[in-house]
Copies of this chain bind each other. A is one copy, B any other.
């Protein structure tokens, strides 16, 4: 595996593993007032990226259509080189471009919402299911993963050969993102147990490194 330099990755499994490990997406659209980029939750299913909600509503009202770019980035560390212009970040990033379309049909919508909801932890099944009215008021978008690519950087800084002799430090400061201990809402009734999926999430790394990239 080539380390250090930014590497473009087109392998479907590698792209999927980054999308699985990401927490939020940044979704971009063109509007009459210029480009807009908003953070959104998302889900992945087969060769589909699923987007949810009110933010999409606002974006689609403002936008020229459903052409979007969805970018998911995981920062893994600060790369300190011997000279600032060689400083970098270690990261994993996926860019998906394409046309997002609305999912119609209550059952299809519920299935897609479960995928988005369970992206971080499977907490759909232990909650009160949405009503048909809830589902009617919710918009869900799907876009194909056809036009997707990833970029990955890891490992040490790449300095100029002549800089290696200098007395400047070089190395990496890892960035670790982890879920802390879950705590109950102030209005939670006594005796309601924490779902196993929530309990299991606490204390785990949010962005596990995957060897496939």
| A198/B183 in contact, CB under 8 A | no
| B34/A168 in contact, CB under 8 A | no
List A residues 88-126 near B (Cβ within 8 Å): 89, 91, 93, 95, 97-98, 113-114, 117, 120-121, 123-124, 126
List A residues 118-153 near B (Cβ within 8 Å): 120-121, 123-124, 126-130, 134, 138
Chain B residues, Cβ within 8 Å of A184: 169-171
**Size bracket, chain A contacts:** 35 or more
Pick 21 A–B contacts, CB within 8 A, sort by A: A23-B89, A24-B89, A30-B35, A35-B68, A38-B93, A39-B91, A80-B127, A83-B129, A84-B123, A84-B130, A85-B130, A85-B138, A87-B123, A156-B186, A167-B189, A169-B184, A171-B182, A172-B183, A174-B179, A174-B180, A174-B183
Binding site for B on A (CB under 8 A): 23-24, 26-30, 33-39, 41, 67-71, 73, 75, 77-78, 80-85, 87, 89, 91, 93, 95, 97-98, 113-114, 117, 120-121, 123-124, 126-130, 134, 138, 156-157, 159, 163-189, 192-195, 198, 201-202, 206
